[in-house]
């Protein structure tokens, strides 16, 4: 079921060990300790599982993805590992004919190169596991992307879809202005076919799949976590207390060790009966999502060409911006400065009634977000009209920016909004009149 392991360090390990042992005394004595070995950190949700469940998850992850020093190319993940998979090489001779140039390198070489490029350029912000928690991350605002939900902000795909390789390519090549993500335009020498860039993109995709896999398995096992045991104790305690208060007879709450034992017993059954299916299903789900992202049907292609950028179009855009249909102004503000009334509210955390401690909007990682100041002329997801069109069409994934395309706005309407928004940096700052005060609202309605 699993792919082949390839090790970078195993062969030299024994020799290195000997050398390290002899050097060790000298180095530690002089205060020059060895760097810690790179490791994929576990999610908190994995660490909080009961020991049996945790070990099972960690074993699955090790078998499917390996460690940073000992990568596993799992054939079920849609990653271009480079080279021909050992199984495919034997049977694929006929099919290889119509494929692009045959990659005869050793299996997995692209992933290994990607790791090398990643470790050199990306790791200090994005972290070994792609968790956005590298050593420099704590100094950055906005925070570096945590890949482990498999979600990225600036994509060219429909709202429910993942990011494409092309999108990642653009981000690596041109950076994200307004953030600390710099351009890696010169990562590859011209004419070398972007080998390093392509490899690091595969590695990032692989890290995202790995992270999502861990998260989804943890979610499956949520009944076997210490948190759910705490919940259960609290619940039992409550009902016991209330029963006692009303004078009824009730069982005292179970002890933690009893519950842990019970969860361990339940987990044993689950492991024997359902775990393999859960892992299988999760792997299929992730693989299908990532394959679908690169399919043509997922790409947002405007149905009409950009509406001519003139005063009339911008005015229509402005009225849409101020309308209750889009409510753009509630976040981006009446003047487009990103200071709408929504930034002053306390918002509930997703899936709960508890509110964030700070005013303003948050992304799915819980970081505070400012709606974009549209007057700066800075476009994180790209400044091509099609980029802004796609932001409005599919929203910005992981953020409160919703998708308008196909439902709320027709493509022509989106182009009007694009024209209005892209004109803002060059216009004097006059607060937009709301639709109630706008006599030309009728024009917009007539158009629809």
Partner 1 sequence: MGKFWAVFFMVFAVACVALCAVAPYCGWWFPGDGKAHSTLGQKIDDLFYLILVIVTVTFIGTQIAIGYVLWRGATHNPNEKALFSHGSHTLEVVWTIVPSGVLLFIALYQMDVWAHYRIKTYFPQKMEPVAEVTARQFEWRIRYPARGKKLMPTPQPDDIYTVNDIHVPTGHPVAISLRTEDVQHSFFVPMLRVKQDAVPGLVIPVWWEMTDTGTFEVTCAELCGWGHYKMKAQVVAQSEDDFEAWKTTTAAEQFYDGVPRSATEVAQRPQGE
Residues in contact with partner 1 by CB under 8 A are 121, 124, 136, 166, 169-170, 174-175, 177, 180, 182-183, 185-186, 190, 296, 299-302, 304-306, 377, 383-386, 389-390, 415, 422-423, 425-426
Q: At its nearest, how many Å lie between partner 1 and the CB of residue 242? A: 57
Residue 67 CB neighbour total at 10 angstroms? 16
- CA–CA separation, 84 and 71 (whole Å): 16
In 3D space, the residue among 209, 205, 210, 202 whose CA is nearest the CA of residue 42 turns out to be: 210
* Secondary-structure breakdown of the chain: helix, strand, coil percentages, each rounded to the nearest 5: 50, 5, 45
Q: Which is nearer to partner 1, 302 or 435 (by Cβ)?
A: 302
Q: Which is nearer to partner 1, 78 or 254 (by Cβ)?
A: 78
- CA–CA separation, 276 and 263 (whole Å): 18
Q: Which two tokens stand for residue 417?
A: 């909004």
Q: At its nearest, how many Å lie between partner 1 and the CB of residue 187? A: 9
SS3 category, 5: strand
Q: At its nearest, how many Å lie between partner 1 and the CB of residue 66? A: 28
Contacts of 369 (CB under 8 A, 6+ apart): 142, 360, 361, 362, 363, 399, 400
Q: Which is nearer to partner 1, 43 or 173 (by Cβ)?
A: 173
Q: Which is nearer to partner 1, 41 or 304 (by Cβ)?
A: 304
User: Which H/E stretch holds residue 209?
Assistant: helix 195-220
In this structure, are residues 205 and 79 in contact, taking their beta carbons and an 8 Å threshold? yes
User: Which H/E stretch holds residue 369?
Assistant: strand 368-369
Q: Which is nearer to partner 1, 142 or 254 (by Cβ)?
A: 142
Q: At its nearest, how many Å lie between partner 1 and the CB of residue 149? A: 24
Q: Which is nearer to partner 1, 10 or 384 (by Cβ)?
A: 384
Q: At its nearest, how many Å lie between partner 1 and the CB of residue 305? A: 5
SS3 category, 47: helix
Q: At its nearest, how many Å lie between partner 1 and the CB of residue 140? A: 10
Contacts of 74 (CB under 8 A, 6+ apart): 2, 3, 64, 65
The CA-to-CA distance between both ends of the chain, in Å, stands at 55
Q: At its nearest, how many Å lie between partner 1 and the CB of residue 156? A: 8
Q: Which is nearer to partner 1, 227 or 301 (by Cβ)?
A: 301
What pairs with residue 157 in β-bridges?
Answer: 299
Q: At its nearest, how many Å lie between partner 1 and the CB of residue 170? A: 7
| Cα 19 from chain centroid (whole Å) | 41
Q: Which is nearer to partner 1, 29 or 428 (by Cβ)?
A: 428
């Amino acid at each position: 079921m699993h792919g082949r392991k390839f090790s970078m360090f195993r062969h030299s390990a024994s020799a290195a060990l000997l050398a390290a042992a002899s050097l060790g005394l000298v180095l530690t004595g002089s205060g020059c300790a060895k760097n810690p070995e790179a490791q994929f950190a576990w999610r908190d949700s994995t660490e909080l599982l009961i020991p049996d469940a945790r070990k099972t998850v960690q074993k699955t992850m090790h078998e499917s993805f390996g460690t940073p020093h000992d990568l596993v190319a799992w054939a079920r993940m849609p990653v271009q590992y480079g080279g021909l998979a050992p199984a495919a090489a034997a049977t694929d001779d006929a099919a290889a004919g119509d494929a692009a140039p045959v990659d005869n390198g050793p299996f997995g070489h692209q992933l290994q190169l990607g790791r090398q490029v990643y470790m050199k350029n990306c790791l200090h912000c994005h972290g070994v596991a792609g968790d956005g928690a590298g050593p420099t991350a704590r100094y950055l605002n906005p925070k570096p992307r945590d890949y482990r939900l498999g979600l990225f902000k600036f994509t060219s795909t429909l709202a429910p879809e993942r990011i494409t390789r092309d999108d990642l390519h653009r981000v690596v090549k041109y950076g994200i202005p307004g953030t600390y993500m710099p351009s890696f335009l010169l990562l590859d020498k011209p004419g070398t076919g972007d080998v390093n860039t392509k490899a690091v993109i595969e590695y990032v995709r692989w890290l995202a799949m790995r992270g999502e896999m861990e998260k989804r398995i943890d979610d499956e096992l949520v009944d076997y976590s210490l948190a759910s045991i705490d919940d259960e104790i609290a619940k039992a305690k409550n009902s016991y207390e209330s029963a006692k208060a009303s004078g009824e007879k009730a069982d005292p709450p179970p002890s933690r060790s009893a519950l842990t034992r019970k969860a361990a017993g339940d987990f044993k059954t689950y492991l024997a009966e359902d775990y393999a299916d859960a892992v299988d299903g999760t792997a299929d789900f992730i693989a299908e999502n990532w394959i679908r992202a690169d399919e043509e049907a997922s790409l947002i292609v405007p149905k009409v060409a950009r509406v001519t950028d003139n005063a009339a179009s911008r005015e229509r855009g402005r009225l849409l911006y101020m309308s209750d249909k889009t409510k753009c102004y509630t976040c981006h503000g009446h003047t487009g400065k990103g200071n709408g009334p929504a930034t002053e509210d306390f918002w509930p955390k997703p899936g709960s009634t508890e509110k964030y401690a700070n005013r303003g909007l948050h992304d799915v990682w819980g970081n505070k977000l400012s709606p974009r100041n549209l007057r700066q002329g800075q476009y994180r997801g790209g400044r091509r009209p099609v980029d802004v069109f796609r932001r409005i069409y599919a929203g910005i994934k992981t953020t409160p920016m919703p998708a308008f395309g196909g439902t709320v706005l027709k493509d022509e309407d989106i182009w009007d909004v694009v024209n209005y928004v892209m004109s803002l940096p060059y216009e004097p700052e006059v607060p937009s009149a709301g639709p109630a005060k706008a006599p030309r609202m009728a024009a917009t309605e007539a158009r629809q």
